[in-house]
Chains A and B, each alone.
Chain A
């Protein structure tokens, strides 16, 4: 597991939603954060477990993208203005989700993040997204 301690964020220590979704950072450097989220049976959208909910995809996108902005600026408070997600194909039930978030920097308190999500093969994504963040107050 690659890790740059300067940018590493311990998602489990955050508690709350990140803890129950068991999302973890697997890589962090300036402008780039990777996360993984292992499958849990209640991520299914049906009782038989044959369909994966898309909710966990949105959850890992939000977590990875927010922490990616923090690799560029630790100014506070940071708010998500919007999230736009294009679905490519359904996640295969039982697979781990991987998110790769990129942020070029903070410009006039604004940050743009792109985040791609796949379930094992980065060349075959389940979703791609773009998010806009805003820093309310200068540090």
Chain B
């Protein structure tokens, strides 16, 4: 079951700066092409792609944290194809939710969901006050 979308991204200045449009569920969104996202001429900046994954992971964590503090542990991004000057879609999901550690994966694509431009994985720690 997908957790309900949080309103966190609405109040996130960095999400607004990148032009993130929240999707139906937490960890899902779209970003329209903008020149401010360009790295090598004509292509998305790799740091933007990684940053969008990171944002999707944080968005999903905020929805499932249930009052615990959320600490990012690590993130890994595999770049599969050039990101073109098109709308980019991101979707993250929980692979395993433990009591203290959550493992997440995500995918980014543009015109064709079957042709991802990048994938990512991450660990987050949930810190609960005793």
**A residues neighboring B (CB under 8 Å):** 15-21, 41-47, 49, 53-56, 58-63, 66, 77, 79-87
Contact = CB atoms under 8 A, between A and B. Distances in A.
A107 B46 CA distance: 22
Give the contact-size bracket for chain B: 20 to 34
Interface of B: 11-14, 16-18, 35-41, 45-48, 50-52, 54-55, 58, 71-79, 82
B78 A81 contact: yes
Given A16-B37, A17-B47, A82 B76 contact: yes
A17 B13 contact: no
15 contacts: A16-B38, A17-B48, A42-B16, A45-B12, A45-B13, A45-B14, A47-B11, A49-B13, A62-B46, A80-B46, A80-B79, A83-B50, A83-B76, A84-B76, A85-B76
A59 B75 contact: no
A30 B18 CA distance: 33
Contacts of B77: 82-84
B13 A58 contact: no
